[in-house]
Amino acid sequence: MNTPTGRREALEVLTRRGLSQRKACRYLGLSRRVATYELKQPEKDRRLGAHAIPPSPARPPDNGVEFTAAKFMRCLRDAAIGPAFIAPGSPGKTASSKASMASCATSC
C-alpha cells in the first residue's frame, strides 16, 4: 500500500465493503482527493518511469551504533575532517558548563 495505486486500491476495497469514502480515507490516513485523482500527463509519467533508476537491492543494516559510528569515523578520516566532539572526562570544555561556572563564580 505504499504506492499511490495501492492506496487507491485499498480505499476502493474499504468502500466496497460498506465504509463511506470519508471514513475509509480517515482510517487509511489519506486525503479524500486520492480517490478522484487522475494523472495530468500519463504518457509523460510513463516515459519518466521507464527511464528511472531501478531501486538498489536491499542491504543488510549495520549491527548497532558502534558499527555505524566506526563507519562514520572512517568517512571523516578519509575526507580529512576531524570530528567535533568533547573527550570523555572533560565537562569543563562545553559552552554551557563554562557559562554556568562563570555565573556561579560571580554570584558566590
Q: DSSP string spanning 41-78?
A: SHHHHHHHHHHSPPPPPP-PPPSHHHHHHHHHHHHHHH
Q: 74 to each of 54, 61, 70, 78, how far by Cα in Å?
A: 29, 17, 6, 6
Whose grid coordinates read 504506492? 3
User: Does some domain include residue 15?
Assistant: yes
Q: Is 0.75 surpassed by the pTM of this model?
A: no
Domain for residue 29, yes or no?
yes
Domain assignment of residue 89, yes or no: no
Which residue range is the domain that position 16 belongs to? Answer: 4-39
> Is 44's pLDDT higher than 80?
yes
Number of domains in the chain: 1
Reported residue count of the chain is 108
Cα–Cα distance for residue pair 31/10, rounded to 1 Å: 13
| pLDDT tens figures, 56-102 | 666 656 666 666 777 777 877 888 877 666 666 665 555 555 555 55
| Strands annotated E in 45-105 | none
Residue 95 lies in a domain: no
User: What is the rounded CA–CA span in Å between residue 77 and residue 18?
Assistant: 60
22 part of a folded domain: yes
